[in-house]
Structure 1
Amino acid sequence: MAQAESVNSGHRAHVVERYRQDGYLSPVRIIDATDAAHHRRRLEEAEAVYGPLNYKAKVHTILRSPLELAIHNCVLDIVESLIGPNILLWNSTYIIKEPRTPAHVSWHQDLAYWGLSGDDQVSMWLALSPANEANGCMRLVPGSHRAGRRDHRIVDSKTNLLFQGQTVEGVDESQTVYCPLLPGEASFHHGWTVHSSLPNRSDERRIGLNVQYLATHICQTKHDRDTAIVVHGVDAYGNFGADIPAQGDLEPQALARHQELDRLYRETAGST
């Protein structure tokens, strides 16, 4: 699937079947390279003011750029085809690997530690710089989502970007595939798909925006304080409090709210 337009041109059933079979879609063109460079520039301008934004939760509540990308029509059309018309934007975070650094992500499944009540969820990873094998693009095990939850072991590693260092062991590397992306391309993956990424061995930053979407019937099982934004359809359940989308960039009130949102996400994802 090379173009987002394919979802709008009668290929929805094919897209859904591929996703159900493989647990991912990649690559999907969302914006062109010029627009990707524009959004990268906005991120790096924000970094110059705010400081590092890597792995900060819910950045769509403090910056307009990730919000615009998260609710892009092409993105929401694909998400609708995968989890239905009533969609919550739950989280967005920049995942950045600096040049020649050992940071990596171990083999894991997202849903194993998010505390969500079901798997009507999809994650998008949108590249704002080239993502390839040299700089640590995502790799995954096609079809692994169909086996459901795998056992995870907590591994103490200072270079593992996951909060708990949670790791699925015994992954057959011969069955894995890489998901290289050009700027403006995205991948979409299921929450039970086993995936990981290696360190950035290149001289360039690897920059991506990771966004999580939920069907509105999903709820948080770890606590009753979680928040989200309805971005498509209607929410007849009210399982989440309401996040406030960014009205500008790094506005003081939004930053004050975000401090607690980021802390709560780390508490949620960092507990078993």
Structure 2
Amino acid sequence: MKMLSESEAGRYRDEGYVFPLQAFSAETAASYRAAVERTCADAAPRPATLTGTPSYRVKPYLLFPWAASLVRTASILDAVEDLIGPDILVYHTTLWWKTKGSPNRVPWHQDGTYFGLAPHEHVTAWVALSTSNPRTGCVRILPRSHRTGQMAHGDHRDSTLMLSRGQTVQAEIDAARAVPVVLRPGEFSLHHTLAVHASDPNTGDDDRIGIGISYIPTRVRHVGPTRLSATLVRGRDGYRHFDPEPSPAADLDAAAVAVHQDSNARFWQASRLIPEMARAH
């Protein structure tokens, strides 16, 4: 089913992003938010540690049926299919949770820098489960920045940075050009893997909760020596570049935890072997 209009698809191609799009109702978003708060409240506030210790906030769709359902939302997949075709994998997913008053922020970066995927056809869907606006620290994105290609990044050790290594674009960024990605609960945005984006601290009166889902067409491969895993969520995988990941039968059941640990261990091994993907493209 076609989800994006011609103008929306054109905006993605030209600007590197499109929003707002409707994933599900505000009531469904509230239900997902409750599931997040029930299952992930005790997880580390950063999406992953520098040591690679598995976090519930990374790839939660391998641990919890609610998250496995969310990444398979038909309206999201319809929009992604309009951009990359009908055979779709989930490569990675991160739960972004900024508590109200939190100083945590995300530095200027490109998603593709440390993922090691080729070609650059990865699409990030950012799904809002609470209000995401400038006060709560929404994503800000630089129009047309995906046209600059892969940019050099550097690691920064700062406890307020929500990326695992504080990976930051080294070039000078004109933040005044950035567009705030304002979303209501149940809405989502799509952005290109090379689009430069960031987010500020949450100065609002509610937590900002959203999930970033990395979708790739099955033809995309990982360029490093580590064989990684991914989840087929639509179509068929005739390439087999990734080992398939099963869905969890129940919250944190033993098989799901083992799959999650294995997937994360591979991902962190790949990250160590290819410290900066700017050198690999």
For normalisation by structure 1, the TM-score amounts to 0.91
Unaligned runs of 5+ in 2: 48-56, 277-281
Q: 1:74 maps to which residue? A: 75
CA contact (8 A) 1:62 1:250 kept: yes
| Whole-Å separation in 1 of the counterparts to 2:104 and 2:33 | 21
Q: Output aligned runs, 1:240-255, within 5 Å.
A: 240-255=242-257
CA contact (8 A) 1:110 1:192 kept: yes
What is the one-letter code of the residue matched to 2:197?
H
Once the two structures are TM-superposed, the CA of residue 176 in structure 1 deviates from its matched residue by: 0.8
Q: Output aligned runs, 1:52-91, within 5 Å.
A: 52=44, 55=47, 56-91=57-92
* Number of equivalent positions: 264
Q: 2:175 maps to which residue? A: 173
SS of residue paired to 2:117: coil
SS of residue paired to 1:88: strand
1:18 to 11, 23, 31: 11
Q: Output aligned runs, 1:1-272, within 5 Å.
A: 7-8=2-3, 12-47=5-40, 51-52=43-44, 55=47, 56-168=57-169, 169-269=171-271, 271-272=275-276
SS of residue paired to 1:107: strand
| Whole-Å separation in 2 of the counterparts to 1:59 and 1:172 | 34
What is the one-letter code of the residue matched to 1:36?
A
Deviations 1:58-91 (A, max 9, x none): 2111111121111111111100001111111112
What is the one-letter code of the residue matched to 2:260?
H
| Whole-Å separation in 2 of the counterparts to 1:184 and 1:52 | 25
Once the two structures are TM-superposed, the CA of residue 217 in structure 1 deviates from its matched residue by: 1.0
| Whole-Å separation in 1 of the counterparts to 2:103 and 2:43 | 20
Aligned CA RMSD, in angstroms, stands at 1.8
- Percent identity over the alignment is 34
Query: Which of 120-129 and 160-169 deviates more?
Result: 160-169
| Whole-Å separation in 1 of the counterparts to 2:268 and 2:30 | 29
Once the two structures are TM-superposed, the CA of residue 239 in structure 1 deviates from its matched residue by: 0.4
SS of residue paired to 2:210: strand
CA contact (8 A) 2:46 2:163 kept: no
CA contact (8 A) 1:59 1:93 kept: yes
Structure 1's 209 and 259: CA in aligned 2 closer, same or farther, altered over 3 A? Answer: same
CA contact (8 A) 2:248 2:255 kept: no
Unaligned runs of 5+ in 1: none
Once the two structures are TM-superposed, the CA of residue 14 in structure 1 deviates from its matched residue by: 2.5
| Whole-Å separation in 1 of the counterparts to 2:227 and 2:174 | 38
Runs of 4+ residues deviating >4 angstroms: none
| Whole-Å separation in 2 of the counterparts to 1:237 and 1:158 | 40
